[in-house]
Amino acid sequence: MTDPEAALGLLVQHALAEEFGGEFAAADPLIRPSGFADYQSNVAMSLARRLGRPPREVADLIAKGLDGASAVQTAEVSGPGFINITLRDSWLAEQANGQLADSRMGVATAGQRQRVVVDYSGPNVAKELHAGHLRPTVVGDAIVRVLEYLGHDVTRAAHLGDWGTPFGMLIEHARDVGEQATYDQLAAGDFTAFYQAARAKFETDPAFADRSRRRLVELQAGEPQSMQLWRLLVDDSMAYLRTLYARLGITLTDADMAPESFYHPMLADVNAELEERGLAVISDGALCTFPPGFTGRDGRPLPLMLRKSDGGYGYDTTDLAAIRYRLRDLGATRLIYVVGSEQHQHLEMVFETARQAGWLTGGASAEHAVIGLMTGPGGQRLKTRSGEQVKLADLIDEAVERAGKVIADRYDDPQQRSQIAEAVGIGALKYGDLSVARASSYVLDFNQLLGLTGNTGPYLQYAAARIRSIFQRADLDPARVTGPIQLGTPAERALALQLLGFGRAVSDTAATAEPHKLAGYLFDVASAFTTFYEQCPVLTAEGETRVSRLALCALTLRVLTTGLSLLGIPVPDRM
Ligand code: ARG
């Protein structure tokens, strides 16, 4: 099968080459969806000047060239030189049957397999995930799933904050409380209370603060008892993260943790290399690098801090070690950092330094997949009544509880109800996040997220569940439906045309690391299906029409379930 947009692009390029010469064979054919036909090409307007001819005349010639192509029903010029193109039904049906027979439904594996590192979620040891972690976690996981489906070699990397100043204080507090009591408190996931107790002592008790500082030095020197208590904190955090990730359907495992401590042994060498390359200077007693192009409000160049004046290393150095490791040791050719917008400048400075150091060369790319804020109704970060960040676990609980109320009257069996509420609540929360352009901020609104109509998780889950129930009533296995698909009515045709865009939607999503493109596509598919299902009886149709409509249902189901699984959205069997 061929993606219609790609097929038309080739036809337009062919017509251009025939009419105006081979040098136009590679021009961008500027194919866009059209309100007047299936697609339009805007290429005539863009080439008119170069050809020295009026755009309408150019458009006429291209349209004539398209006439007679087996894919094209009509090609008509309108306005200043748009070419409106309608595809031939028989051609579309042929492509749809090809897609039905293709186990990947037209999603080609990437021509060039890349080694991609995706840095996402950004968890920290001894801290619970809060509402702000939802987006970098959910969006990152969708990006990873899409890249893997395209055949790329993907390394997940959660840049786990497990090193640095707070650990002196946390370990000292764990010693005071006792190992068993620490374990019991943390295994229950109550990191916030533990952290706050340590912090409070640190701020009010100078002797404790002193002990904490000494403890930090011992920890960083690898002293065994400090290390053992540190391990306890890390292990408890990992147990907590595993449970939360599993519930959210996030594919991160222990092996995907790229903790800050992992890079610790590399930091001195990274600094030495930057010094050798003349990129590091001493400024106010600290070792710094000043990547060009970054200045503060006062116009002065901004530093990345390589070594503090007290000899310690921080976040900046760790990120430099991480990028060097990913490029040089892992051999990655694409790095994607799925991190909040507030770290944009930091990451751009890290990328620039990696370029200057010769680690990030033309063969590789680094991109910040910017994540905007999810806010409460007032446009502020979500806070509890007592002013703390809302815990991610509480947010999930609330989504599931509300989902239970939305679906409550449909199920008598409490176990089934709670299973479906879990899938619907989590699906709604994740989809709500994924359907918004990741760099935009949005207001969390459970009523909207849980709506059964509109661009929501439940609407898409419901569309899939409805198709499953058609096959149940027909006592047919949708996986065994072979068609053929024939396109009779406009609604059938419109659905087929949507379905054929699946491969393009997936590859666009991978190219830009923007899952909302796939989400928007799936919503369009579900909408086209809804119209089809309202206008075209399936089970009561007869003969070839019934066969064809069942095949369209089966293909829609496969595109929806595959697409939703690429976004990490669960699809309940029933709804
Ligand atoms: N743990 C960090 C934080 O809490 C986020 C890590 C983002 N990734 C990175 N490579 N810096 O802010």
pLDDT at site 515 = 98
Residue 303 lies inside a defined structural domain of this protein: no
**Looking at the structure, do residues 72 and 173 belong to the same domain, yes or no?**
no
What share of the chain has pLDDT > 70, as a percent?
A: 100
Q: Which protein residue has the closest C-alpha to ligand 1 atom 12? A: 122
Residue of 159, 318, 346 with the most ligand 1 atoms within 8 Å of its CB, for mutation: 159
Contacts of 243 (CB under 8 A, 6+ apart): 189
User: How many CB atoms lie under 10 A from the CB of residue 60?
Assistant: 19
Contacts of 73 (CB under 8 A, 6+ apart): 86, 87, 88, 89
Q: Which protein residue has the closest C-alpha to ligand 1 atom 11? A: 319
Tens digit of each residue's pLDDT (9 = 90 or more) over 462-498 = 999 999 999 999 999 999 999 999 998 999 999 999 9
**Looking at the structure, do residues 171 and 82 belong to the same domain, yes or no?**
no
| Ligand 1 atom index nearest CA of 346 | 11
Place of tokens 């815990």: 391
pLDDT(1) > 70:
no
Least confident window among 40-54, 150-164, 186-200, 418-432: 186-200
Tens digit of each residue's pLDDT (9 = 90 or more) over 54-107 = 999 999 999 999 988 999 999 999 999 999 999 999 999 999 999 999 999 999
**Looking at the structure, do residues 73 and 170 belong to the same domain, yes or no?**
no
Residue 340 lies inside a defined structural domain of this protein: no
Q: Give the tokens for residue 325.
A: 């490791």
Q: Which protein residue has the closest C-alpha to ligand 1 atom 1? A: 122
Residue 189 lies inside a defined structural domain of this protein: yes
Sequential DSSP letters for 380-445: SBPB-TTSPBPBHHHHHHHHHHHHHHHHGGG-S-HHHHHHHHHHHHHHHHHHHHHTS-TTS-EE--
CATH number at residue 48: 3.30.1360.70
What share of the chain has pLDDT > 90, as a percent?
A: 87
pLDDT(553) > 90:
yes
Question: Of 214, 237, 256, which residue constitutes the final position of a domain?
Answer: 256
Least confident window among 175-189, 312-326, 400-414, 519-533: 175-189
Distance 339 CA to ligand 1 centre (A): 7
Type of residue found at 500: L
Which residue range is the domain that position 206 belongs to? 166-256
Residues with CB under 6 A from ligand 1: 119, 122, 124, 159, 161, 319, 322, 337, 339
User: What's the pTM value of the predicted model, to 2 decimals?
Assistant: 0.95
pLDDT at site 388 = 84
Residue 250 lies inside a defined structural domain of this protein: yes
Structurally, the chain folds into a number of domains equal to 3
Question: Of 256, 273, 294, which residue constitutes the final position of a domain?
Answer: 256
Distance 160 CA to ligand 1 centre (A): 7
Largest Cα span, the chain:
88
Strands across the sheet containing 286-289: 281-283, 286-289, 304-307
In the three-class reduction of DSSP (H, G, I as helix; E, B as strand; rest coil), residue 365 is classed as strand
Determine if residue 444 is left, alpha or beta; phi over 0 gives left, psi from -120 to 50 gives alpha, anything else beta: beta
Tens digit of each residue's pLDDT (9 = 90 or more) over 37-64 = 999 999 999 999 889 999 999 999 999 9
Distance 340 CA to ligand 1 centre (A): 9
Question: Of 40, 62, 87, which residue constitutes the final position of a domain?
Answer: 87
Q: Give the tokens for residue 171.
A: 């370990």
Residue 505 lies inside a defined structural domain of this protein: yes
Distance 157 CA to ligand 1 centre (A): 11
Residue 291 lies inside a defined structural domain of this protein: no
Give the C-alpha separation, 58 to 80, whole Å: 11
**Looking at the structure, do residues 82 and 173 belong to the same domain, yes or no?**
no
Residue 149 lies inside a defined structural domain of this protein: no
CATH number at residue 545: 1.10.730.10
Least confident window among 51-55, 88-92, 183-187, 455-459: 183-187
Asked if residues 259 and 163 have their Cβ atoms less than 8 Å apart, the reply is yes
Give the C-alpha separation, 7 to 222, whole Å: 62
DSSP 359: S
Distance 35 CA to ligand 1 centre (A): 44
Residue 155 lies inside a defined structural domain of this protein: no
